Structure 1
Amino acid sequence: MQQCMLGESKVSIHKDVKKGVCLRASVNVKAGDVLLREVPLLSTPTASEKLKKSIDEFCRIIEGEDRLLILLSRRYIPPLCAFADAPAQLREAVLSLQSDFAVSDSKIAKAARRLAIMFHRSGLFSTSGGLVKVSVSKEHISLVLNLLIINSADTLPDGSEAVFYMGAMLEHSCSPNARFCIRSWEQDAAPAKQLWIGEWQATKNIASGEPVTTSYLEPELLERPARERGHVLLARMGFNCACDSCSQELRSAAALQAAQH
């Protein structure tokens, strides 16, 4: 989705046999350089009172269920509604993003499957429910919910959720070479609406052709041991971290343990 990009980027899309679609530096990059800027592919407007009421009612219905389902519902019902009302080309772009959990039997993957069924049966994303103008199929509810979780939808400063097209292709690393930040973008002196953009900056020099990585974890979690980081990523996003940092740390720990026996 070139229309999401702002200015020239220093990354290119690459298909990796093992990792799938990812981004690589298209030129030599210095620490501090901006790699890419883009507007959200999908973002949620401020929730209407009707939408807030519908979310509250749905959460009351599933109140006896796992708390995780309620948390996921409150966060992802608005972007699912935004997906339903988006133009066809935008919906196709959203559906092209990664939507398969790497660990299909993880708790988060099971919760997503269960919640997608509940969403479909509730009629929330059917035109008969009055929240959306175009009904969303059971399959698309499941796919979009998955990709919102997997691609780490970002919460913007105004509380809305956003998915970035190119940003979603950045692979995770516990020792990343790029960092993500959200910036205010003013196209004129008095913009009618606040526009937030995603910006990725290099944190170290990156050679042309080298994979560009970012962290899906908060800075404080990156200071924790590899096993703890791995547990968080599996719980939140349904994948086992195999970044160089974790692999090296786990190998060292295993070697030390073997030497002690």
Structure 2
Amino acid sequence: MSAEVASSDIASINLYAQKFHQGFLQCRDTETKGRILAATRDFAQGEIILEELPLHIVQADAASSEFSTLKSMCEAKKGFDYDALWYWAALRSLCLEDLGSGFFSWTLLDKDRQERLLLLHTGEVSGPSRATQAIARQLVPQLRDVDKLERLLQAWIHNAFDFSDEPSGYATYYFPSFMSHSCYPSAFWHYGADAERYVLRARRAIAAGDEVTVSYLEETLLLSHVQERRWDLFETKQFWCACERCTGGLDKSRGLACPKCPAGAVFGRVPDPGPAMDGDLLAAHLEGAVCGACAHVLTAAEAVKLHKQEALLVAALKGWEERKMTETEAALTDHLLTSGLPQHALADKCWEHLAKFYKSKRQYAKVAEICLARSNFHAAVFPGLSAARGWSLEAFADALVSTTRATSGKKRLRGGEEAADSLQVLYRALRAYAESERILGIMFGVKHEFPEAIREKKSVAEKMVFVKLGVA
């Protein structure tokens, strides 16, 4: 794209920003990241930065003969790099000028919205792929410009948001699509009350002139180790993250127990910038790690041994995706996490399965212990507001309340002492609910269903306290 075209595009984008978003954000072109959005005024934490309706929504359509044909083509032929829904989104983004007259089972997009959609992707397209050409021949033989179908496909792949599960669907938003990703984003987005509106809030205070970034990853994946985050972004958005959490220093989500001292931990090194073979953890990134307690330096042999522990957990996690954890596995995993992984993303994933296991056994005290460990891990590895931490605190409080309920029906052996213990448990639950409500209220807004659900739970816990105090 020429400098003149790029300048014209940015002028058009900023004209849109001024018209629909009061110019509070401005698009800029950068050498390293391409187009970004920057704030033109200060935003306080939790403040709404913008709201926007979707540019286009496309969902799977079982009643459409074209969509059924497209699914069959994707399943039967090689060379189709994407699922049928991606190609369907591109087809659904064609306009009348592209196709002329004819009958279609879908409504054609208007030209203005199509032009905005095409502006979302500025990468080079060397021509239509074989899959795109085959789709055009089969489903829209009158299409005048097959290159455009490929460009629309790439616009969707690089800018789509998950919209619905049943039926599966994607949405694109115009202005928000110019925001860059960061694993330490300054803003957070969610769907509004109408389930379509894009709502952007400041995750932390933003000053005028600051770039406004969001995460392209789910909240839970923001807590994972660098290798997994970068690989996921490459697979889904086709770029290698180089944000401040993905370049240089130590990977705070990959902490293992020091082999020389009981209290120490060693952290893996953040991988070098640029492409990787896959998202797997490497022993080489552990070699030379220094224990924060005793200053021991990991040897190559020690790094390999610790890496084998990680590999065992990775294999176990894959197994638990298909079957339930056994009692023996729960005990062994619990021991390994306690003794070997003081601050590791793999431990967080294992804790999720352990919590489900102990909950099925109604061992709520154990569930609470695990949820608290998860919450502490989330706070340690992510330097800011995390919805995942809000949810883990909520789960921690839920488990404490369930513990109180489970013990209240049992015969009281210690009288007033037991009642005092139950009150302390409920007070801990109320504090956890309050912090969870604070976090999720800032990120989603106080009227969102998440903080509202916590307020309801908190009210129930407060009533339980009153009953214990005899003032209900």
Q: TM-score range by the shorter chain?
A: 0.7 to 0.9
Count of aligned pairs: 234
Q: Describe how 1:13-162 pairs up with structure 2 within 5 A.
A: 13-44=27-58, 47=61, 49=63, 51=64, 53-65=65-77, 69=81, 72-78=83-89, 80-84=91-95, 85-100=108-123, 113-122=129-138, 124-126=139-141, 135=143, 137-156=145-164, 159=167, 160-162=169-171
Cα deviation 1:169-200 (Å, max 9, x = unaligned): 01011111111111145xxxxxxxxx721111
Question: How far off is 1:113 after superposition?
Answer: 3.6
| Residues 250 and 151 of structure 1: CA distance in aligned 2, closer, same or farther (over 3 Å) | farther
CA-atom RMSD, angstroms? 3.3
Task: Show the counterpart of 1:245.
Answer: 245
Higher radius of gyration, 1 or 2: 2
Amino-acid identity (%): 22
**How far apart in 2 are the matches of 1:170 and 1:3?**
13
Task: Give yes or no for contact 2:160–2:171 (8 Å, CA) kept in 1.
Answer: no
Higher strand share: 1
Task: Give yes or no for contact 2:74–2:80 (8 Å, CA) kept in 1.
Answer: no
Cα deviation 1:62-103 (Å, max 9, x = unaligned): 32346974x5212440453144322222222211112427xx
| Residues 48 and 8 of structure 1: CA distance in aligned 2, closer, same or farther (over 3 Å) | farther
RCO (CA 8 Å, sep 6+): is it higher in 1 or 2?
A: 1
Q: Describe how 1:209-224 pairs up with structure 2 within 5 A.
A: 209-224=209-224
Question: What TM-score, normalized by structure 2, do the two folds share?
Answer: 0.44
| Residues 98 and 62 of structure 1: CA distance in aligned 2, closer, same or farther (over 3 Å) | closer
**How far apart in 2 are the matches of 1:242 and 1:114?**
32
Cα deviation 1:192-231 (Å, max 9, x = unaligned): xxx7211111100111111111011111111110111111
| Residues 66 and 210 of structure 1: CA distance in aligned 2, closer, same or farther (over 3 Å) | farther
Task: Show the counterpart of 1:164.
Answer: 173
Task: Give yes or no for contact 1:97–1:168 (8 Å, CA) kept in 2.
Answer: yes
SS of the aligned residue for 1:43 comes to strand
Question: How far off is 1:138 after superposition?
Answer: 1.1
**How far apart in 2 are the matches of 1:15 and 1:115?**
32
| Residues 179 and 218 of structure 1: CA distance in aligned 2, closer, same or farther (over 3 Å) | same
| Residues 200 and 79 of structure 1: CA distance in aligned 2, closer, same or farther (over 3 Å) | farther
Q: Which runs of 5+ in 1 are unaligned?
A: 128-134, 186-194
Moved more, 175-184 or 149-158: 149-158
Task: Give yes or no for contact 2:186–2:213 (8 Å, CA) kept in 1.
Answer: yes
Task: Give yes or no for contact 2:161–2:172 (8 Å, CA) kept in 1.
Answer: yes
Task: Give yes or no for contact 1:176–1:213 (8 Å, CA) kept in 2.
Answer: yes
Cα deviation 1:83-128 (Å, max 9, x = unaligned): 4322222222211112427xx9xxxx9xx94432332232x2445x
| Residues 75 and 243 of structure 1: CA distance in aligned 2, closer, same or farther (over 3 Å) | same
Task: Give yes or no for contact 1:41–1:164 (8 Å, CA) kept in 2.
Answer: yes
Question: How far off is 1:243 after superposition?
Answer: 1.1
Q: Which runs of 5+ in 2 are unaligned?
A: 1-12, 96-107, 252-268, 272-284, 290-297, 300-472
